[in-house]
């Protein structure tokens, strides 16, 4: 079902029952429904091979659909196999490798889309004004006469973004735009690109397999698995209230424990905490940062440190909790204060999420690894 717009603006992208497949094969996308509000940045996140690129390429008009509809700014661009040509969809595409024209200057690259027939009449002066405005927006005002090979990877991506935004598209599609960049550059650039998109007011769909990127940049996430969307929501909501254990594990490290609900409270090896869940057996999703590691004389669940993983900004502990033998992950800022074999007490119960037992997968007391590729 297409949901009604959440914000004041109308829906910029509406996808209904979209089915896409390669010839002679089972569908890759099997009935996608999604709506994106005007000015929103939505991240489509999912493991390798789930169909993210297929989805983006279908929106861009580079792949045909078997069934379903796509509307961009209220205009039907896909209606089953009938489709509006890519150049008439008012879409800006930012590919993974920037794909700039090597023999054109930065300014000429940015101005490329401004000469198209579907663009409103722009005088030469207006075109130059728009190019300057876009270069300013992406912080490259002084780079107009450079060529792509004279830029860093991050600068090339910013030119690609300026080129995509210049014709004022109805929708910007970003396909793993930071995939080719090293980790240090990604951190700065993703914050910058998020700001640029917000400043431009563009509606954008970002495809990524990187949970941190999706959680930090997007206003909403659509999590894909095996060609379908399993959950859509704001990053905080998805992280703290995943609909099942797979979603919980995909969005970040967690431990899933067995528990019992009496309707108002839930009990587990970590103690009792208030939570309104149907009475009976439940599964408890515990994020490592929700657990405090205390010296053993403190109240809490008794455990023994099994492993210590120093990660620079934080330390991740694996603690085996007596008497069940469940392993619980705990993350604390900074340097490790405990060593392997130390007896500790585990505190904390705030913010745990509880799932009905029936929706669970995996074994109790096993840390769920974030899944990437």
Ligand X SMILES: Nc1ncnc2c1ncn2[C@@H]1O[C@H](COP(=O)(O)OP(=O)(O)OP(=O)(O)O)[C@@H](O)[C@H]1O
Q: According to the binding rule CB under 6 A, does residue 44 interact with ligand X?
A: no
Integer-rounded Cα radius of gyration of the chain: 24
Footprint on residues 17-36 left by ligand X (CB under 6 A) = 22, 25, 28
C-alpha span between 356 and 280 (Å, rounded): 8
Residue 348 DSSP one-character state: -
> For residues 51-70, which are near ligand X according to CB under 6 A?
51-54
Task: Determine the size of the site formed for ligand X (CB under 6 A).
Answer: 12
Asked if 209 touches ligand X (CB under 6 A), the answer is: yes
Contact region with ligand X (CB under 6 A), list: 41-49, 158-166, 291-299, 350-358: 41-49
Shortest distance (Å) from residue 62 CB to ligand X:
11
Which CB atom, from 37 or from 176, has the smaller least distance to ligand X? 176
- Residue 11: which residues within 8 A CB-CB, separation 6 or more? 2, 5, 35, 36, 37, 38, 71, 74
Phi then psi dihedrals of residue 23, to 5 deg: -55, 135
Nearer to ligand X, 54 or 170 (CB): 54
Q: Among 7, 48, 126, 201, which residue sits at the site for ligand X (rule: CB under 6 A)? A: 48
Taking CB under 6 A as the criterion, the residue among 10, 49, 188, 351 binding ligand X is: 49
Between 224 and 266, whose beta carbon lies closer to ligand X?
224
- Residue 58 or 326 having the CB closest to ligand X: 58
Give me the least distance between CB of 332 and ligand X, in Å please: 32
Per the listing, tokens 């769920």 go with: 368
Stretch that binds ligand X, among 44-52, 166-174, 280-288, 354-362 (CB under 6 A): 44-52
192 to 121, 155, 187, 310: CA distances (angstroms): 31, 11, 9, 29
Question: Any contact of residue 1 with ligand X (CB under 6 A)?
Answer: no
**Cβ neighbours of residue 236 closer than 8 Å, sequence gap 6 or more:** none
Is residue 188 a contact residue for ligand X (CB under 6 A)?
Answer: no
DSSP 193-251: HHHHHHHHT--EEEEES-HHHHHHH-SEEEEEETTEEEEEE-HHHHHHS-SSHHHHHHH
Could you list the residues that contact ligand X (CB under 6 A)? 22, 25, 28, 46, 48-54, 209
């Amino acid at each position: 079902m297409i949901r009604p717009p959440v914000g004041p603006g109308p829906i910029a992208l509406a996808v209904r029952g979209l089915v896409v497949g390669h010839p002679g094969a089972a569908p890759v996308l099997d009935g996608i429904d999604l709506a994106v509000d005007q000015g929103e940045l939505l991240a489509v996140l999912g493991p390798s091979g789930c169909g993210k690129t297929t989805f983006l390429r279908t929106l861009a008009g580079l792949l045909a659909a078997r069934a379903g509809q796509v509307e961009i700014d209220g205009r039907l661009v896909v209606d089953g196999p009938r489709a509006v040509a890519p150049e008439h969809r008012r879409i800006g595409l930012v590919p993974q490798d920037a794909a700039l024209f090597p023999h054109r200057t930065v300014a000429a690259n940015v101005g490329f889309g401004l000469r198209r027939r579907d663009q409103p009449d722009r005088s030469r002066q207006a075109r130059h004004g728009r190019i300057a405005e876009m270069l300013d927006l992406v912080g490259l005002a002084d780079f107009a006469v450079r060529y792509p090979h004279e830029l860093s990877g991050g600068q090339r991506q910013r030119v690609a973004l300026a080129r995509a935004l210049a014709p004022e598209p109805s929708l910007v599609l970003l396909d793993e735009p930071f995939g080719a960049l090293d980790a240090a550059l990604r951190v700065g650039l993703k914050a910058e690109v998020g700001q640029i998109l917000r400043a431009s007011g563009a509606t954008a769909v970002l495809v990524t397999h990187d949970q941190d990127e999706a959680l930090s940049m997007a206003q909403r996430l659509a999590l894909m698995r095996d060609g379908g969307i399993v959950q859509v929501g704001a990053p905080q909501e998805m992280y703290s209230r995943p609909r099942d254990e797979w979603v919980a594990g995909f969005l970040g490290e967690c431990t899933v424990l067995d528990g019992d609900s009496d309707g108002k409270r839930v009990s587990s090896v970590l103690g009792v905490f208030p939570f309104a869940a149907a009475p009976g057996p439940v599964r408890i999703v515990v994020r490592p940062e929700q657990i405090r590691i205390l010296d053993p004389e403190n109240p809490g669940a008794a455990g023994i440190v099994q492993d210590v993983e120093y990660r620079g900004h934080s330390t991740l502990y694996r603690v085996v909790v007596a008497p069940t033998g469940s392993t619980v992950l705990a993350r604390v800022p900074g340097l490790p204060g405990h060593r392997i074999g130390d007896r500790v007490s585990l505190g904390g119960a705030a913010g745990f999420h509880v799932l009905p037992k029936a929706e669970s997968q995996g074994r109790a007391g096993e840390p769920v690894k974030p899944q990437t590729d």
